[in-house]
Amino acid sequence: MERSFEKEVELLRLGEGAIFHGEGILAVTKALLQSGVAYVGGYQGAPVSHMMDVLNDARDIMDELGIHIETNASEAGAAAMLGASINYPLRGAVTFKSTVGTNVASDALSNLASAGVRGGALVILGEDYGEGASIIQERSHAFAMKSQLWLLDPRPNLPTITRMVEKGFPLSEASNTPVLLELRIRACHVHGSFQTKANTPPPFSRRRALAEPDFDYGRICLPPATYAQEKHKVEVRWPAALRFIAENGLNELFAGRADDVGIICQGGMYNVVVRALQSVGLANALGDAEIPIYCLNVTYPLVPDEVARFCAGKRAVLMVEEGQPAYLEDALHALLRKADLQTRVHGKDFLPLAGEYTGEVVLTGVARWIEAVAPRGVDAAGVARSLASLTASKGQAAEALGALVPPRPPGFCIGCPERPVFSAMKLLERETGQFHVSADIGCHTFSALPPFNIGNTVLGYGLGLASNAAVNSMFDRRTVTVMGDGGFWHNGLTSGVASAAFNKDDAILVIMKNGYSSATGTQNIPSSPHQDAHKARGMSIERALKSLGIGWIKNIHTYYVADMKRALTEAMTTGYAGLKVIVADGECQLERQRRLRPQVAEQLKRGERVVRSRFGVDEDVCTGDHSCVRLSGCPSLTVKPSADPLKVDPVAYVNNGCVGCGLCGEVAHAAVLCPSFFRAEIVQNPRGWDRFLHKLRSTLIGWLQPA
Ligand code: SF4
Ligand code: SF4
């Protein structure tokens, strides 16, 4: 069962002239339907997972409009799907996170960009960069430059974001080039409103099918066509794109009184730039700024004439470009040189070379730049004073909170079924010594953090086993790879398992079968336990493994720590020389709770008897050595001061968050820890028998207590 987005789906039905209120990524989804898109697809990943979730829940709208929706097996599959736009006048959009997804998709994107498109092709990239990001810090800009894909980076407000989606398709068609639309994390989640248009059925669709296939050798990526395609990119497509961008005013110019200087920013940076100017008194509450701003809603390609027009007559400009390398700043230098303009270019000399451009970072950079260039009619010294005063109060707040707010690194959810596997590995290490673990991407990557510190390398989604290929033969004991079921279907089956089987690798693979792509919001995957009517059922990891000739497969329930340890020991020591696979079977607790909570609430409402388990620690027995905490890492298993004045160390304590997964008991048993853990049953809507038992037990315990 995936999370339902029924409320959001209703917003997709809004017609001409209505007002949409909501989140950025949902606005993008609505704009796609307004643009006459014929097909959509993608692969889940923050911060754009929401889009696929909503589209999947909006099947009836898709059916009415004749739009095909595909939940792609990977980003490569999503990008390749855009091939429908190469020969046919079909508008298509796919989505994935970047740069990790763009890396996976880049083969298809190169081919698509080379062949060129007839129908508009839009890739919505969740630019997962900065302090909230979960992946490698790189920029999508590089992909745009290398393959010549146009890159939109809209100003984070809903009217601009939706306008860029709607303009992205004709831009793509006018220049026969796929278009990337980059949405930073904050842009995806920004809230606002825009005036909607009616949804537009595509001219060709599942309801109005194409009659004839089209063959054009010029669109095949094979020499000599590829040579002609490269020439077409620079001689025809590029100039056509520049014309379209300029004629449609995709980039925005905001005039300002102090026009002897100016700020050029990526569209996505516009809000922080204006906020910085507001903070130092150089912009009003509506965002009207004293300093002119040239806002690049299209960051690739730059339009040389527009850039030159903005810079002409200015002493200096500040380029606000998040991330590195400084592609835009360097391009600006080159453009001004070619235009023979002497405007001084600043950017990374006032702003950091790398890292997210947060409000504070941009405020500091912009204020220091203003102080240095002293724009005409601006009190530069006053700006410096404003910055100093803002920084001072922030410093005081940080000092006051520093001691109170502990760091909160990410970690497994309470009761996560993946954690027990690492408890078992920790126990095994006591006997075998440490072994190399090739980790993968997913919730299980949190094992690299305390208390487990398990996982020596991470090379990419589904690439754990492939990354283990060389290291495996270099150790005197077997190594282990951990991969999620999402990673298995994405890339692990082919890049990892097929390769290990083909090469007869003596490797151990643990597949975390939690049932969903949990880290991205519990989307369904081919082996999910419940599928809706649009998806195939019964796709099995075990059968896929067997079909590749894997002869050593064990399915172990994750919470049985002792069994898991036994299976790992056997995998380490067996004479079987090929790939050994342990399928660690346990449903994602987040999804399980999401499924159970409404059921339990219903039962309680009906007055039915409900029993749930909670674990606890008897603090009289607990010695305070905390080995259970080191072997569990569950946020609910914590510590508290001991009531016993003779115990100096805090004792273990299970807080109210415990979902009774049972790991505490299992670990205490498997690790032969102290007997301080107990399992309690909480009975709601108790029956007569429950009340009688409770009374009996209380009386007995009362008798046994010292007077
Ligand atoms: S989302 Fe599911 S798999 Fe991921 S940490 Fe939480 S419980 Fe574990
Ligand atoms: S039983 Fe232990 S590991 Fe499971 S949820 Fe409760 S405290 Fe956490």
Name the band, by pLDDT with cuts 50, 70 and 90, for residue 707.
low
Q: Write down the pLDDT at residue 455.
A: 97
- 41 pairs with which residues across the strands? 70, 94
CA distances from 237 to 86, 150, 171, 198 (A): 14, 10, 10, 31
Q: In the numeric block, which tokens belong to residue 312?
A: 């002409």
pLDDT digits (tens, 9 = 90+) for 61-120: 999 999 999 999 999 999 999 999 999 999 999 999 999 999 999 999 999 999 999 999
Percent above pLDDT 70 for the chain? 99
Residue 443 CB less than 6 A away from ligand 1: yes
Element (DSSP H or E) covering residue 150 = strand 150-152
Q: Write down the pLDDT at residue 350.
A: 98
Mean pLDDT over residues 379-388, rounded?
96
Number of neighbouring beta carbons within 10 Å of residue 328: 23
CA 574 – ligand 2 centroid, Å: 32
Closest CA to 123 of 196, 8, 43, 207: 43
Q: Write down the pLDDT at residue 474.
A: 95
Q: Write down the pLDDT at residue 538.
A: 87
Q: Tell me: pLDDT of 647 over 90.
A: no
pLDDT digits (tens, 9 = 90+) for 181-238: 999 998 999 999 999 999 999 999 999 999 999 999 999 999 999 999 999 999 999 9
Give whichever of 50-59, 542-551, 660-669 has the largest mean pLDDT.
Answer: 542-551
Residue bearing the CA closest to ligand 1, atom 4: 443
Lowest mean pLDDT among 166-180, 242-256, 675-689: 675-689
CA 635 – ligand 2 centroid, Å: 8
Residue 663 CB less than 6 A away from ligand 2: yes
CA distances from 348 to 324, 355, 474 (A): 9, 12, 44
Q: Write down the pLDDT at residue 53.
A: 87
Residue bearing the CA closest to ligand 2, atom 6: 658
Which positions ≥6 away from 4 have C-beta within 8 Å? 57
Which positions ≥6 away from 95 have C-beta within 8 Å? 40, 41, 42, 43, 48, 51, 52, 78, 123, 124, 125, 126
CA 484 – ligand 2 centroid, Å: 22
Closest CA to 171 of 220, 163, 210: 163
Q: Write down the pLDDT at residue 532.
A: 87
Q: In the numeric block, which tokens belong to residue 304?
A: 């040389």
Output the 3-class SS for 114-137: HHCCCCCEEEEEEECCCCCCCCCC
pLDDT digits (tens, 9 = 90+) for 358-382: 999 999 999 999 999 999 999 999 9
Cα distance between residue 299 and residue 328, in whole Å: 8
Residue bearing the CA closest to ligand 1, atom 8: 416
Are the C-beta atoms of 517 and 523 separated by less than 8 Å?
Answer: yes
Element (DSSP H or E) covering residue 109 = helix 100-115
Bond into 406 cis (ω within 30):
no
Q: Tell me: pLDDT of 349 over 80.
A: yes
Residue 622 CB less than 6 A away from ligand 1: no
Q: Tell me: pLDDT of 290 over 60.
A: yes
CA 173 – ligand 2 centroid, Å: 55
Q: What is the mean pLDDT of the chain?
A: 94
Handedness of CA 511, 517, 523, 525 (dihedral sign): negative
Dmax over CA atoms of the chain, in Å, equals: 97
Q: Write down the pLDDT at residue 3.
A: 59
CA 665 – ligand 2 centroid, Å: 8
Residue 441 CB less than 6 A away from ligand 2: no
Residue 523 CB less than 6 A away from ligand 1: no
209 backbone dihedrals φ, ψ, rounded to 5°: -70, 155
Residue 654 CB less than 6 A away from ligand 2: yes
Name the band, by pLDDT with cuts 50, 70 and 90, for residue 127.
very high
Nearest ligand 1 atom to alpha carbon 512: 3
**Ligand showing the shortest atom-to-Cα distance for residue 612:** 2
Residue 636 CB less than 6 A away from ligand 2: yes
Nearest ligand 2 atom to alpha carbon 664: 2
CA distances from 245 to 157, 166, 249 (A): 19, 13, 6
CA 275 – ligand 1 centroid, Å: 37
CA 452 – ligand 2 centroid, Å: 16
**Ligand showing the shortest atom-to-Cα distance for residue 655:** 2
pLDDT digits (tens, 9 = 90+) for 248-259: 999 999 999 999
Are the C-beta atoms of 438 and 465 separated by less than 8 Å?
Answer: yes
Q: Tell me: pLDDT of 572 over 80.
A: yes
Nearest ligand 2 atom to alpha carbon 419: 3
Residue with tokens 């905001």: 254
pLDDT digits (tens, 9 = 90+) for 442-459: 999 999 999 999 999 999
Residue 418 CB less than 6 A away from ligand 1: yes
Query: Which of 588, 631, 632, 666 for mutating ligand 2's site (highest number of atoms within 8 Å of CB)?
Result: 632
CA 654 – ligand 2 centroid, Å: 7
Residue 112 CB less than 6 A away from ligand 2: no
Q: Write down the pLDDT at residue 129.
A: 94
Mean pLDDT over residues 23-48, rounded?
94
Ranges of H-type helices in 356-418: 359-373, 380-402
CA 605 – ligand 2 centroid, Å: 26
Residue bearing the CA closest to ligand 1, atom 1: 518
pLDDT digits (tens, 9 = 90+) for 417-429: 999 999 999 999 9
Nearest ligand 1 atom to alpha carbon 413: 6
Residue 514 CB less than 6 A away from ligand 1: yes
Residue bearing the CA closest to ligand 1, atom 3: 588
Residue bearing the CA closest to ligand 1, atom 5: 412
- 93 pairs with which residues across the strands? 40, 122
Write the burial class of residue 333 (CB in 10 Å: 0-12 exposed, 13-18 middle, 19+ buried): middle
Cα distance between residue 548 and residue 556, in whole Å: 21
Are the C-beta atoms of 189 and 13 separated by less than 8 Å?
Answer: no
Q: Report the side by side order of strands in the sheet with 252-254.
A: 252-254, 293-296, 261-266, 316-320, 344-346
Q: Tell me: pLDDT of 2 over 70.
A: no
pLDDT digits (tens, 9 = 90+) for 474-514: 999 999 999 999 999 999 999 999 999 999 999 999 999 99
Q: Write down the pLDDT at residue 399.
A: 83
CA 190 – ligand 2 centroid, Å: 36
Residue 664 CB less than 6 A away from ligand 2: yes
